[in-house]
DNA sequence: TAGATTGTTAATCGATTAACAATC
DNA sequence: TAGATTGTTAATCGATTAACAATC
């Protein structure tokens, strides 16, 4: 398979998400354009980078296309496929809410641990998985095969905890704090701070 | 000022964030490269698109550079500058946490209202600002000059509520749901679902 | 069939990198 | 000064769009 560029990869991830929720049996590049705003030519080009020649003159079979994207990108949807283990770092209001709101329930992502440097948080809160003091990160994360982290600590602690996550062998983290994190090249960071998002909106309008 | 492309704009927003937290008086493109990973040539080129010639042979004055980015992009930091009014739609665990965790406290973004279609949520919860049943969106949003929304409803309601926000005259929304939203061209959407973020990480590694 | 759609190549457009004189 | 850094132009690289034969 050809290498897939960053913009193409992000579009395909979005498309996979869309397909996983769609009830339509078939879909065309024109319909995808309507739903996503990406041009239909671009969509066909993106799809052509996968090893997938399923398209016919009346479009794609949604399930087949989804499967092709998943196999091309190493994704899976809807609990099937291998579970990927995650942890939540920072159990303040936001971290606790993410932990408890069940947003990963129908995904292959499974939370295996929560961490906080404040003992009273790990003792007061309860979850379907164990909560640990932050001091346990370096042992629990490799021990439980945790690959990804959700970082929801206070801004002041963000880089410190990111460093510990990296040392613990994490492969990627979702950064909900307002800080920009410095991590090594092998660790992937996705910045999804709501404040940063609002700033990006404000700068655009 | 020259027009600023999407990638440049996002880099500058990140840089502004970084500068607003930095305690260093001066900064160079080399230091910015170390902190962000963007190449120093690219950073200088980005900065050159602003109407700002403050750089000298030993770098930039951090405050001046921040001010230039803010004025070029229409941003402001640290409560100063005009307040921008926001609302939260969906007061489940996640929405309530964002409402209560004070993440916008030191920003120009100010939450003026919370909405939920379930009356018991708006009655049980409390906040520094009023909570309304979703039926009030179309009157409260224009009435309170609310420009931006944080969408934190269940996936099933996401498009429905997005439509109502658009009808209410919102200019941008931060989408925390897993759904892709269809909105008109004038409304800006930032997708920051943690699940989507994890999928993007997984597809990258 | 006629019309819509795919897969792919070629053309265009835009973004990043390289290079360097000017500056302190 | 010497060395580091900026601002900017030219060169390169890569991503998007246009175009169209092949397909159903």
Quote the CA–CA distance of B167 and A125 in Å, as a whole number: 40
Quote the CA–CA distance of B85 and B129 in Å, as a whole number: 12
Query: Are residues B5 and B67 in contact, defined by beta-carbon separation less than 8 angstroms?
Result: no
Query: Are residues B152 and B95 in contact, defined by beta-carbon separation less than 8 angstroms?
Result: yes
pLDDT digit string, tens, across residues A171-181: 999 999 999 99
pLDDT confidence tier of residue A25, bands split at 50, 70 and 90 = very high
Of the ranges A2-11, B31-40, B76-85, which one carries the lowest mean pLDDT score?
B76-85
Nearest 5°: the CA angle B79, B81, B86 is 65
User: What do you get for the CA distance between the two ends of chain B, in Å?
Assistant: 39
Say what the pLDDT of residue A14 is.
97
- Return the closest nucleotide (C1') to the Cα of B30: D5
Neighbours of B59 (CB within 10 A): 18
**Residues of chain A with pLDDT > 70: what percent?**
99
Mean of the per-residue pLDDT values of chain A? 94
Contacts of B148 in chain A (CB under 8 A): 198, 201-202
Give the CA A3 to C1' C16 distance in Å. 19
CA atoms within 13 A on the CB side of A26: 9
pLDDT digit string, tens, across residues A147-158: 999 999 999 999
Give the CA A86 to C1' D11 distance in Å. 45
Query: Are residues A151 and B201 in contact, defined by beta-carbon separation less than 8 angstroms?
Result: no
Give the CA B167 to C1' C4 distance in Å. 34
Residue B80: is its pLDDT beyond 80?
A: no
Residues 6+ apart with CB under 8 A from B144: B85, B87, B112, B113
**Position with higher pLDDT, B70 vs B57:** B70
Mean of the per-residue pLDDT values of chain B? 94
Say what the pLDDT of residue A164 is.
97
**Is A45 near strand C, with its CB below 7 A from some atom of it?**
yes
Listed by range, residues with Cβ under 7 angstroms from strand D are A 5-8, 39, 41-42, 44-45, 56-58; B 28-30, 40-41, 44-45, 47-48, 52-60
pLDDT confidence tier of residue B53, bands split at 50, 70 and 90 = confident
Residues 6+ apart with CB under 8 A from B105: none
Protein contacts on strand D: list nucleotides below 7 Å from a Cβ.
3-9, 14-19, 22-24
**Is B45 near strand C, with its CB below 7 A from some atom of it?**
yes
In B98-193, beta strands by DSSP E = 109-116, 131-133, 148-151, 172-175, 188-191
Residue B56: is its pLDDT beyond 70?
A: yes
Query: Are residues B125 and B96 in contact, defined by beta-carbon separation less than 8 angstroms?
Result: yes
Residue B162: is its pLDDT beyond 90?
A: yes
pLDDT digit string, tens, across residues A26-51: 999 999 999 999 999 999 999 999 98
Say what the pLDDT of residue A71 is.
93
Say what the pLDDT of residue A30 is.
95
The CA-atom distances, in angstroms, between B119 and each of B90, B133, B176 are: 11, 6, 22
Residue B193: is its pLDDT beyond 70?
A: yes
From the list B84, B94, B196, the residue facing A97 with the nearest CB is: B94
pLDDT confidence tier of residue A79, bands split at 50, 70 and 90 = low
Residues 6+ apart with CB under 8 A from A146: A85, A86, A87, A112, A113, A140, A168, A170
Query: Are residues B137 and B168 in contact, defined by beta-carbon separation less than 8 angstroms?
Result: yes
**Residues of chain B with pLDDT > 70: what percent?**
99
Query: A84-89 and A109-116: which strand pairing?
Result: parallel
Residues 6+ apart with CB under 8 A from A56: none
């Amino acid at each position: 398979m050809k290498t897939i560029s960053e913009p193409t990869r992000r579009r395909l991830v979005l498309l996979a998400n869309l397909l996983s929720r769609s009830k339509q049996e078939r879909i065309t590049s024109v319909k995808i354009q309507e739903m996503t705003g990406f041009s239909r030519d671009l969509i066909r080009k993106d799809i052509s980078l996968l090893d997938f020649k399923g398209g016919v003159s009346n479009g794609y079979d949604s399930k087949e296309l989804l499967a092709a994207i998943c196999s091309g990108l190493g994704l899976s949807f809807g609990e099937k496929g291998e579970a990927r283990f995650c942890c939540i770092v920072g159990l303040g209001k936001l971290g606790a809410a993410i932990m408890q709101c069940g947003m990963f329930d129908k995904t292959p992502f499974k939370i295996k641990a929560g961490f906080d440097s404040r003992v009273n948080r790990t003792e007061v809160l309860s979850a379907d998985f164990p909560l640990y003091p932050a001091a346990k990160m370096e042992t629990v994360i490799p021990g439980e095969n945790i690959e990804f982290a959700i970082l929801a600590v206070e801004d002041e602690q963000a880089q410190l905890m990111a460093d510990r996550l990296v040392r613990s062998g994490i492969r990627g983290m979702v950064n909900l704090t307002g800080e920009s994190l410095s991590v090594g090249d092998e660790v992937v960071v996705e910045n999804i701070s709501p404040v940063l998002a609002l700033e990006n909106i404000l700068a655009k309008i």
